[in-house]
Structure 1
């Protein structure tokens, strides 16, 4: 599963530009968590356009054992109500299927409800971490009236599921935007920060 990521933006990429992407596995870290054995893998991508650096991305992927049937979900802290901007999103099965197709993501937790619930132990279809991150950076850019971010960091804390409304939150702090996505009961699902 996608655990988090970071972006750094250096230059615009124009339509029709010749683009090169170089990817490397930066780090592999085995750990043990509440759900058992975990392995965190950090992948770094460097993207150049017309031979000049355009942006870089690092994403953290976590591999885990299948949870035990009696595993209790971890509760994250409440996000609170100290936000300047709030939006509610209700993810649908069709939204998740389309995002899986768009990103070539074949993980069944996003489109096969029976598998997601009975094998992986989720409460429904899992909303993609990068989709939530995309919604957060979109909110940040709209609040900043279309300004381009210099960097964007995000970290997943708890899954979100289809059919359950979740909220996006944003608060400007100088040249930065603090962001969060919250579960239906107001707990942290993802936190992020965009620098402008």
Structure 2
């Protein structure tokens, strides 16, 4: 496996400007089948993931649909990319129609070895600002793995829950979320590619889509909660159109654990801190 000088990549920064435009917010709301917040109202948490995209040129996409590496992100030498998890702090509300900017720093790079081979972990630190107010701070874990059969073994069994919802993630939902986030990763919409090239049994549900729906399920079950911190980590893929179950339970005061599962067990864990 080729290597690169990690010191040349650590600390690199990138800034993106965007507007939480009402038309795109309406499209997100339509996809999740919820009322759209009006101009000036608070943007639901995690909807910011549909903004600040790279807007990569068509010619700048790799075979998997992701922007070619080696410009801002370090080279990964033909490995498959996954968004493994995030830790998000909600500091101040974001608002529909507001202009914002996101500052990204490559915070950590580490090579690990797992059951599926060599894994390259890249941690990005994001800050989202409205004017001079820091609103969101996030650490995002991106994992690049060597081409190998994906992990499809059963997950941990679901434990006792205090609330729950279910969603059937059909091809239309995956397509629309890819469009909302300008995400051309082919594992979410290209059946021949995802099954023949990457070896999944079907279309893969986006990790951030699962996390967003999981947090929304918590919000509906706990409408008075004021979000402070949210984290999630994926442990196995969710394959469309198998139903996804979102559930959770309260721990100590102001803390809850959430999970997303299919009929074969838990696929994504999450925790939330709230007032």
Tell me, yes or no, whether TM beats 0.5. Answer: yes
What is the match of residue 247 of structure 2? 169
Deviations 1:6-61 (A, max 9, x none): 11011112334332211011111111111111111111111111201111111111
Within 2, Cα distance between the matches of 1:184 and 1:13? 36
Please give the alpha-carbon distance, in whole angstroms, between the structure 2 residues aligned to 1:97 and 1:137.
Answer: 21
* Structure 1 residue 72 displacement after superposition: 6.7
Aligned equivalents of 1:48 and 1:10: distance in 2? Answer: 10
Verify: 1:23 aligned to 2:101, yes or no: no
Contact 2:89 2:138 in 1 (8 A): yes
1:181 alignment partner in structure 2: 260
**1:111 correspondence with 2:189:** yes
* SS of residue matched to 2:227: coil
Q: Secondary structure at the match of 2:165?
A: strand
> Which of 1 and 2 has higher RCO (CA within 8 Å, sep 6+)?
1
Tell me if structure 1 keeps the 8 A contact 2:164–2:217: no
Q: Closer, same or farther in 2 for the Cα pair 1:15/1:167, shift >3 Å?
A: closer
Aligned partners of 1:66 and 1:148: how far apart in 2?
41
Partner Cα separation in structure 1 for residue 116 and residue 261 of structure 2: 22
Larger gyration radius, structure 1 or structure 2:
2
Matched, 1:10 2:88: no
- Equivalent-residue separation in structure 2 for 1:12 and 1:45 (angstroms): 16
Q: Confirm whether residue 101 of structure 1 aligns to residue 182 of structure 2.
A: no
Shift of 1:125: 0.2
User: Match for residue 139 of structure 1?
Assistant: 217
The alpha carbon displacement at 1:149 in A equals: 0.7
Of 24, 39, 42, the match for 2:123: 42
Partners of 1:139 and 1:170 within 8 A in 2: no
Consecutive unaligned residues of structure 1, counting only runs of 5 or more, are none
Provide the secondary structure at the position in 2 that maps to 1:88.
strand
Q: Answer 1 or 2: which has greater strand percent.
A: 1
Residues 141 and 148, structure 1, Cα contact 8 Å, conserved in 2: no
Structure 1 residue 73 corresponds to structure 2 residue 155: no
Contact preservation (8 Å) 1:13, 1:49: yes
Q: Which runs of 5+ in 2 are unaligned?
A: 1-81
Specify the SS of the correspondent of 1:178.
strand
Matched positions, count: 192
Cα distance in 1 for partners of 2:154, 2:120 equals: 21
What secondary structure is seen at the aligned counterpart in 2 of 1:140? Answer: helix
1:46-65 → structure 2 map (5 Å cutoff):
46-65=127-146
Q: Deviation digits for residues 103-147 of structure 1, max 9, x if unmatched?
A: 111111000011111111101000000000001111111111153
